[in-house]
Amino acid sequence: MGSYIPNTGEQRREMLSAVGAQCVQDLFASVPKDMLVGDGLDLPEGLSELEVRRAVTAMAEKNRIYPTVLRGAGAYRHFIPAVVRSVVTREELVTAYTPYQAEISQGILQSIFEFQTMICMLTGMDVANASVYDGGTAAAESIAMCKDRRRTKAYVSACAHPHVIETMRTYCFGSDTELVVVPEKDGRTDLEALKAALGADAACFYLQQPNYYGNMEDAAAIGEIVHAAGAKFVMGVNPIACAVMATPAECGADIAVGEGQPLGLDIAFGGPYLGFMAATKAMFRKLPGRIVGQTHDVEGQVGYVLTLTAREQHIRREKASSNICSNQALCALTAGVYLTAMGPEGLEKAARQSMSKAHYLAAELEKIGMKRLHGGEFFHEFVTACDKPQAVLDALDKAGILGGLPVEGGILWCVTEMVSREEIDRAVAIIKEVC
Amino acid sequence: MKLIFEKGAPGQHLSLLPSCDVPEVSLSQERKAPLPLPQVSETELTRHYTALAKRVHGVNDGFYPLGSCTMKYNPKINEDMAALPGFTQIHPLQPESTVQGCLEVLATAEKLLGEITGMDAMTFQPAAGAHGEFTGLLLIKAYHHHRGDSARTKIIVPDSAHGTNPASAVMAGYTVVNIPSAPDGCVDVEALKAAVGPDTAGLMLTNPNTVGIFDKNILEITKIVHDAGGLCYYDGANLNAVMGVVRPGDMGFDVIHLNLHKTFSTPHGGGGPGSGAVGCKALLESFLPGPVVEKAGDGYRFAIPEHSIGRVKDFYGNFTVVVKALTYILTLGKAGIPEAAENAVLNANYMMKRLKEKYTMAYDVPCMHEFVMCLEDLLHDTGVSAMDIAKGLLDNGIHPPTMYFPLIVHEALMIEPTETESKETLDEACDVFLKLWDLAHSDPQALHDAPKTTPVRRLDEVGAARNPVLRYTEA
Amino acid sequence: MNFPAELKYSKSHEWVKMLDDTTALVGITDYAQSELGDLVFINLPVVGDAVTKEEAFCDVESVKAVSDVVSPLTGVVAEINEALMDEPQMLNESPYEAWIAKVEDITDTEELMDAAAYEAFIQQ
């Protein structure tokens, strides 16, 4: 039906005649004739807007929306203030390209500069980039920042998110880098194994905080072990947890990365999300991707530009350390608006409530005999042992509750500020019936 | 304009969350550093971002002929569909039976895009074009490894290629062999013949290429690579010129990436999120990143390909971007897809014809969806550079073309009008371009001084790079 | 443009100042810096790096480009001019004071030109 083409048949004929063509096919004269598909494409007829709305809405309706979500594992349903959607659906911001023409892109550039600043505030690091695709690719990109001629091996904790480990492994397959997984012990990185594993060829160690099981790692001690081996310490952090836990900078991280989805982005079946990357001053030139800097114009007015661009692929080509070109600008903007709306108190509230409610759920589950699988501190996720996870999850499912994620040894639960005490009590009552 | 950190006052805030209804807990190692996030009212917040939005040129603010970026109109229905709660409120790790609609989106998009490109299978995991390139090259690498052929260490890239091509090849562990372009801007077939050998893993190519020309030797080119045992990678950046007209799969390509945010009308978001879907022929299917979606009875399920290279990203890619692209394809359909390509090509040729009156074309032959002008003579005659003309356009409400790319053309301006612009808009833009050409001759200084009407004027990029200020710090 | 007589010059526009038979300072020429434009960063080599004549041993960045600096000598990097990290503009402002590296244990040197020959070379 429509193809959003404004020109009428008459105008097209005029234009064809202006370029000296009889018909539009003449313009494709350089395409070998027998290669043209003609009418041969097996595609459905185009639809009117009403029809397409029906068709796509029908697909959306085949998905189930759970009123209560007790599952996280890398995608977290937090409260999103109304102002966030209102700002990030403005069409100037939605439809612009990468801000190559700084004079007419100050809005995007300034929003990225503010985002970079906020990521530095959250992580305590000195410098942040304009964002990358997601937390997994941010972790994978950090390896290239740390490798040099002598230090060629990358290390990752077994307690990192499995997707992150897999993504790192795929990137390492590309760069022919050896990736060593340091084993876990009681739901945390095994410090002795880490000490033993790191050799003179260790480039970096990646630690997730809180880790995949929700447990808090002894990040500062791990940082010391990593530095003692002469390697770089990379921390992958939950940005909301950063409001309450010791920051990557306080734990001695050289690089802090993470998944920015909790900062105002919908869970949206896995994306788009937002990878953030921050580093110490000593390492900032190794950051991949776009970076915005402050400068001034010919009249002395403050303005913003993409800067340090000679690191990047469009200039360095095969000598660039990363191929990344775009960032997730609109997602970075979303995070910026979210953090502004929440403010320091609001963010701490979201973090503290998520953590407190998770502890409440853990305590209530323990009362009915579902014990935590690991000891020690946790943030807003934890694993309980469970001998019939499917029965538990099915029972919750019937009540409109997405229960925790089945993992080896039990169930990985998550609670955010979105879940009320009443909902938790209801879930526990259902579980009690099953167990 | 002030930064958000310079607005508001301590204590200002929005009222968002209730008080905690469970006992509060804390960590033994709590954050010590203060958290100096902005403290503003909702009024201040919305005004700040409204002001920022006004300092951005989007597709609806005016003509945006940014070559190689396909800045076509972004239909509103796409945004509506992607915002359906049935998509946005779905957890990526829900049971498969509760996400059948999401799987149907991915499976349907795969089928339709497979048909458009002539590919047998597809992954939507890559988040952007460059990410797709990396993924596609890893498929090639895994394919050769799987055959036990470890001697193929080189990827051939023409010198007209986008910088991501060689950078992606290196990330995939390959050595890059740059081959010069022929005088017509196309692949130098003899140079290619000389470059291929038992160490050739593959060739990366854009067709139409970065100067906007369809390489008529394409079948010979892909055959040369195949005969040498290599595979052919199609950079889909320029697919808008040929979708529905000719298929990369029929040109002899084995693997491609698509920029759903270019060709398939999903917006660019100021630099992302995009989607760099990767399609491949059957011989590479078993190497795709997992999981992929497959049919299972009346529904769909996830599966991991047998020899998968592994994940390139968390979860399944930029899912709601795929929803937008699918909405667009369903809207255009069988007739609309080629119609879009044909009009993109017509619009480009029309502008080229009009601008040829004064400007020098880098390749003076009919173009596809974009064309490149070479302003070297203008610079020589008047001292006005491609950059100056670009900045002059800013004062006329037009987003400049891509500048100084491809690298094989000096003082390049690369213009891609897209099919969603009217003849009226093209004529007005051509008038502006021609007016600026005259101005370059009559008053070059006026162009050196441009822009004058933008929120800021030319910025000191050298100063920004020499003394990097990359974040706000409290005075 | 200025080409001091006491220096030797390479075809790829580096200058060499021999300190003794096996030690020299290396930098880029006035001509090189003017062609490269405003330099914003230098990726210096590392002390202890072996350098080979006619091969790149570091690179310099302008806003829009990156360019290799080619070593005219084969030897070992003994010292680097770290001040250039903070003030890359010295490469533009005083190219002959802004030495990049001190190379020692020189075992081989490409054919270098004197100032007059280099000036004639760049005229071409």
Does residue B60 contact residue B33 with C-beta atoms inside 8 Å?
Answer: no
Please state the domain count of chain B: 2
Mean pLDDT score, A158-164: 98
Answer with the one of B306, B332, B358 that is the final residue of a domain: B332
Same domain, yes or no: B139 and B115: yes
CB-based contact, A320 to chain C, within 8 Å: no
Place A38 in a pLDDT band, splitting at 50, 70 and 90: confident
Does residue B265 contact residue B72 with C-beta atoms inside 8 Å?
Answer: yes
Q: Who's near C43: CB < 8 A, 6+ residues apart? A: C58, C59, C60, C61
- CATH architecture, domain defined by C9-108: Beta Barrel (2.40)
Please state the domain count of chain A: 2
Does residue A54 contact residue B229 with C-beta atoms inside 8 Å?
Answer: no
Same domain, yes or no: A365 and A255: no
Task: Find the DSSP H helices in B39-196.
Answer: 42-54, 76-82, 85-88, 100-117, 129-146, 164-171, 189-195
Q: Which two tokens stand for residue B133?
A: 């390139």
Q: Is residue B299's pLDDT more than 80?
A: yes
pLDDT for res B403: 95
Same domain, yes or no: B210 and B343: no
Same domain, yes or no: B345 and B317: no
Interatomic CA distance for residues B145 and B421, integer angstroms: 47
Does some domain include residue B50?
A: no
Q: Within 10 A of C4 (CB to CB), how many other CB atoms are there?
A: 12
Same domain, yes or no: A270 and A176: yes
How far A31 CA sits from the closest chain B CA (Å)? 6
What are the C-alpha distances in Å from B308 to residues B185, B292, B304, B386?
37, 10, 7, 46
Does some domain include residue B473?
A: no
Q: Which site among A281, A295, A309, A313 would you substitute to test the C interface, given the most C Cβ atoms closer than 10 Å to its Cβ?
A: A309
CATH of the domain at A392: 3.90.1150.10
Q: Which two tokens stand for residue B155?
A: 């990827």
Does some domain include residue B14?
A: no
Residue A93 belongs to what domain range? 82-336
CATH of the domain at A86: 3.40.640.10
Q: Is residue A57's pLDDT more than 80?
A: yes
pLDDT for res A3: 83
Does some domain include residue B466?
A: no
Interatomic CA distance for residues B122 and B109, integer angstroms: 9
Interatomic CA distance for residues B145 and B133, integer angstroms: 18
Same domain, yes or no: B300 and B426: no
Cβ contact (<8 Å) for B37 and A118?
Answer: yes
Question: Omega into B208 within 30° of 0, i.e. cis?
Answer: yes
Same domain, yes or no: A293 and A395: no
Cβ contact (<8 Å) for A269 and B420?
Answer: no
Q: Is residue A195's pLDDT more than 90?
A: yes
Answer with the one of A336, A364, A387 that is the final residue of a domain: A336
DSSP-derived 3-state class of residue A215: strand
Contacts of A309 in chain C (CB under 8 A): 63-64
Does residue A317 contact residue A332 with C-beta atoms inside 8 Å?
Answer: no
Does some domain include residue B273?
A: yes
Contacts of C65 in chain A (CB under 8 A): 310, 315
Q: What are phi and psi of B30, to 5 degrees?
A: -90, 165
Same domain, yes or no: B145 and B208: yes
Domain boundaries in chain C? Answer: 9-108
Interatomic CA distance for residues B204 and A318, integer angstroms: 13
Query: What single string gives the DSSP state of each residue in B29-56?
Result: SB--S--------HHHHHHHHHHHHHT-
Which bin fits A230, alpha (ψ -120 to 50), beta or left (φ > 0)? Answer: left
Q: Within 10 A of A92 (CB to CB), how many other CB atoms are there?
A: 20
Same domain, yes or no: B152 and B211: yes
Interatomic CA distance for residues A342 and A350, integer angstroms: 9
Place A142 in a pLDDT band, splitting at 50, 70 and 90: very high
Does some domain include residue B276?
A: yes
Contacts of C64 in chain B (CB under 8 A): 404
Does some domain include residue A8?
A: no
Does some domain include residue A401?
A: yes
DSSP-derived 3-state class of residue B217: coil
Same domain, yes or no: A323 and A391: no
B:354-413 residues touching chain A, CB 8 A cutoff: 354, 366, 368, 390-391, 394, 399-400, 402-403, 405
Same domain, yes or no: A93 and A72: no
Same domain, yes or no: A385 and A256: no
CATH of the domain at B364: 3.90.1150.10
Same domain, yes or no: B211 and B109: yes
* Tokens 């957890």 sit on residue: B91
SS3 content of chain C, % helix, strand, coil (to 5): 20, 45, 35
Of the candidates B176, B247, B318, the beta carbon closest to that of A271 is on: B318
Q: Is residue A1's pLDDT more than 70?
A: no
Same domain, yes or no: B360 and B278: no
The amino acid at residue B405 is F
How confident is the model over A295-328, as pLDDT tens digits? 999 999 999 999 998 888 888 888 888 999 888 9
Same domain, yes or no: B314 and B351: no
Same domain, yes or no: B191 and B110: yes
Answer with the one of A311, A336, A361 that is the final residue of a domain: A336
Does some domain include residue B464?
A: no
Q: Within 10 A of A258 (CB to CB), how many other CB atoms are there?
A: 31
Same domain, yes or no: B307 and B412: no
pLDDT for res C1: 87
Does some domain include residue B420?
A: yes
pLDDT for res A283: 95
Does some domain include residue A139?
A: yes
DSSP secondary-structure letter at B174? P
With both helix axes pointing from N to C terminus, report the angle between A389-398 and A421-434 in degrees, rounded to the nearest 10: 130
Interatomic CA distance for residues B375 and B379, integer angstroms: 6
Same domain, yes or no: A362 and A412: yes
Of the candidates B20, B74, B129, the beta carbon closest to that of A95 is on: B74
CB-based contact, B171 to chain A, within 8 Å: yes
Same domain, yes or no: B326 and B346: no
Residue A8, judged by CB atoms within 10 A of its CB (0-12, 13-18, 19+), counts as: exposed
pTM over 0.95: yes
Q: Which two tokens stand for residue B274?
A: 């995009």
Same domain, yes or no: A304 and A360: no
DSSP-derived 3-state class of residue B122: strand
Interatomic CA distance for residues A339 and C122, integer angstroms: 56
First-to-last alpha carbon distance for chain C, in angstroms, is 15
Residue B279 belongs to what domain range? 77-332
How confident is the model over B349-393, as pLDDT tens digits? 999 999 999 999 999 999 999 999 999 999 999 999 999 999 999
Q: What stretch of H or E contains A181?
A: strand A178-182
Q: Who's near A181: CB < 8 A, 6+ residues apart? A: A155, A156, A157, A158, A165
Answer with the one of A336, A357, A376 that is the final residue of a domain: A336
- Residue B162 CA, distance from chain mean position: 11
Q: Which site among B462, B467, B469 would you substitute to test the C interface, given the most C Cβ atoms closer than 10 Å to its Cβ?
A: B462
Provide ipTM, 2 decimals.
Answer: 0.97
Q: What average pLDDT does the structure give for chain A? A: 96
Mean pLDDT score, A104-116: 98
Place B327 in a pLDDT band, splitting at 50, 70 and 90: very high
Mean pLDDT score, A50-69: 98
Contacts of C36 in chain B (CB under 8 A): none
